[in-house]
Amino acid sequence: VIREKVQDGETGETREISYTQCKIVGNGSFGVVFQTRMMPSNEDAAIKRVLQDKRFKNRELQIMRIVRHPNIVQLKAFYYSNGERKDEVYLNLVLEYVPETVYRASRYFNKLKTTMPMLEVKLYIYQLFRSLAYIHSQGICHRDIKPQNLLLDPTTGILKLCDFGSAKILVENEPNVSYICSRYYRAPELIFGATNYTTKIDVWSTGCVMAELMLGQPLFPGESGIDQLVEIIKVLGTPTREQIRTMNPNYMEHKFPQIKPHPFNKVFRRAPHEAIDLISALLEYTPTQRLSAIEAMCHPFFDELRDPNTRLPDSRHANGSPRELPDLFDFSRHELSICPALNGRLVPPHARPALEARGLDIDNFTPLSKEEMVARLD
């Protein structure tokens, strides 16, 4: 049993935790992730250990401490530990443990030579948009949306966004690096080297994830930055001068091969019309033309989730019984303040009583101001 003095993820208060049986479940350029068993509760937790530069505050820790949402992995606690060398300090983030990922779920259907059932696609993409609507309203951009960073609890169908290692609060007129985001999911403005991009880069990535779940393979599988752009052009067609200007005005002089768009209904054969309509509203060259996350949640593609009679078929077990959908409408006051005009569409009638019981009446609602919603780092 290992004991650690930790700071609480929410309050920062010091307490002690005990855990046993550490096994490495992931590692990357950032560090390692262990799966542990917390004592005495016997709950699993993940500990993400990253090398901490003493000169800087850790941005991931700062952001994890201010995001609290049912579709975002929760920071339980954090502590510092010494590394091999005497001047090395590691930051340890104690996170809730979620067993599966959308990436692995998608591979599972691939091996069966089939694609994910459309209801599952709806369930996961809706919850991803819900997490993004929340962080985007705080001014936070995740900057690394991909199937590997979407955790899944297969028993409940709940999705949780994880890995805020690239996340940043975007401030207007402050430049940001363009070399973030994983290759297949990078928005075209990033490929064009834009430094003034917005949270709409996460919306593009989500469109790529949705397309991948429907196709069983990445929609834009480029080998390099430019190759990536070629893959996008093969589907969307060559961007117009005006579209290029909205992504990065410095590229106006470039000549691109003139390619006609490949219609989405030919890319996604057998896909329902609503799915194609949503994807085409996410994968737009011009960032301001893309739907916002909260607008996307209201799209008719997700209406099946708003139907109180919808059940989740248990596709993994031959004789599994249909299950209730997880609660998709337990919105907070913060969430209902993002775009109050959409609340009538966001909250289906059957979900209203539960909100009203929590003092949230959407017909008679005082939203938080933008200032109250935006995250500030101390």
* 146 and 286 inside one domain: yes
Q: What is the mean pLDDT of the chain?
A: 94
Is 111 annotated in a binding site? The answer is no
Higher pLDDT, 29 or 165: 165
**Model pLDDT, residue 222:** 92
**Residue 163 contacts residue 331 (beta carbons within 8 Å):** no
The reply to whether 15 falls in a domain is no
| 361 falls within a domain | yes
pLDDT at 252 over 80: no
For 157, half-sphere exposure in the C-beta direction (CA atoms, 13 angstrom radius) is 23
> Can you tell me which residue has the tokens 């075209």?
188
Question: 295 pLDDT band (50/70/90 cuts)?
Answer: very high
Cα–Cα distance list, 279 to 214, 220, 243, 290 (Å): 11, 13, 18, 10
Do 136 and 265 lie in one domain? The reply is yes
Q: Is the pLDDT of residue 58 over 80?
A: yes
Is 213 a member of any domain? yes
- Read off the pLDDT band of 313 (50, 70, 90): confident
* pLDDT at res. 249: 82
Residue 107, domain member (yes or no): yes
Q: What CATH code is carried by the domain that includes residue 209? A: 1.10.510.10
Using the structure block, give the residue that is written with the tokens 């949705």.
210
Pick the residue with more confidence: 299 or 25? 299
The count of other CB atoms within 10 Å of the CB of residue 86 is 6
- Counting residues of the chain whose pLDDT is more than 70, the rounded percentage is 99
What positions carry a catalytic annotation?
144
- Asked if residue 336 and residue 294 are part of one domain, the reply reads no
Q: What is the dihedral of CA 130, 103, 153, 201, to 10 degrees?
A: -20
> For position 70, which CATH number holds?
3.30.200.20
- Cα–Cα distance, 83 to 378 (Å, whole number): 27
75 and 112, same domain (yes or no): no
Same domain, 131 and 246: yes
> Does 318 reside within a domain?
no
| pLDDT on residue 318 | 64
Q: What is the pTM of this model?
A: 0.96
Residue 27: per-residue pLDDT: 85
Say whether both 156 and 49 belong to one domain. no
**pLDDT category, 94, cuts 50, 70, 90?**
very high
pLDDT tens digits, one per residue of 102-156: 999 999 999 999 999 999 999 999 999 999 999 999 999 999 999 999 999 998 9
Q: Are residues 240 and 156 in the same domain?
A: yes
The answer to whether position 5 is within a domain reads no
pLDDT confidence of residue 320: 72
Stated as kind and residue range, the H or E segment containing 121 is helix 118-137
55 and 109 in a single domain? The answer is no
Residues 125 and 188 in one domain: yes
Q: 198 and 80, same structural domain?
A: no
Residue 85 confidence class, pLDDT cut points 50, 70, 90? confident
- 255-259's contacts with Cβ under 8 Å and 24+ in sequence apart are 257/233, 259/233, 259/234
Domain assignment of residue 200, yes or no: yes
CA 279 – CA 291 distance, rounded (Å) = 10
pLDDT at residue 225, rounded to an integer? 82
Q: Domain range for residue 65?
A: 20-35+42-96
